Structure 1
Amino acid sequence: MEEEYPMPFSMDWTKEEIIDVMEFFRVIEEAYEKPVRKETVLSRYRRFKEIVPSKAEEKQYLRDFDEKAGVSCWKTVQQAGRKETEETFKMT
């Protein structure tokens, strides 16, 4: 994903939280470019959920990022969570 666009974040988050959320979005992008470790996706998603516990806010952040990046965060997390998914996977 060569295109640059702003990643969604809240001004209420700490610097560490912003970095962690950006790392979550970054691994989602990477999953569309090359194989990523499923545990990396899941652990970064768990951290994202610690920062954004509200389901409504989660949906808004994911929707915003999906539209800008042309990816699907939720489908990527679902794929990572499937038992039959290999240790590494790439979204198509």
Structure 2
Amino acid sequence: MEYSYPINLDWSKDEMATVINFYQAVEKAYEVGIDTSEIKVKYSDFKQVVRSIGEEKSLGKEFEKASGYSAYRVMQLVKNATTSKIKMQP
């Protein structure tokens, strides 16, 4: 797929990379599956950059609009997971 990740141009390169890594983990959850521990770490790192819930929701909506993948739905599945790996159903 060809789309841009939603980022804030005020972030440092490391912060941008952290946010992109989280969105790539969301993509992985849809495409091939991901270990819950892996995505929890990426989400924790993401929250160090995107601290406000409002900004997280806004970025999440932009990402979903561009990619069709919902970071919110992935994290809800992770939160309720009873297995060590998840894969989103289309």
TM over 0.5: yes
1:31 aligns with 2:18: no
Query: Could you tell me the TM-score, scaled by structure 2's length?
Result: 0.93
Give the corresponding residue for 2:75: 77
The whole-number CA distance in structure 2 between the counterparts of 1:13 and 1:77 is 23
Match of 1:40 among 38, 41, 45: 38
Cα deviation, residue 83, structure 1: 4.6
Deviations 1:34-75 (A, max 9, x none): 121101111111111110111111100000001111011011
1:91 aligns with 2:65: no
RMSD between superposed Cα atoms in Å: 0.9
Query: Could you tell me the TM-score, scaled by structure 1's length?
Result: 0.91
Match of 1:67 among 59, 65, 68: 65
Identity across the alignment (%): 30
Q: Which runs of 5+ in 1 are unaligned?
A: none
Give the corresponding residue for 1:56: 54
Deviations 1:16-43 (A, max 9, x none): 1101100000010111111211011111
Q: Is 1:37–1:89's contact at 8 Å kept on the other side of the alignment? A: yes
Q: Stretches of 4+ moved more than 2 A in 1?
A: none
Matched length: 89
Q: Give the partner amino acid of 1:73.
A: A
Match of 2:10 among 9, 12, 17: 12
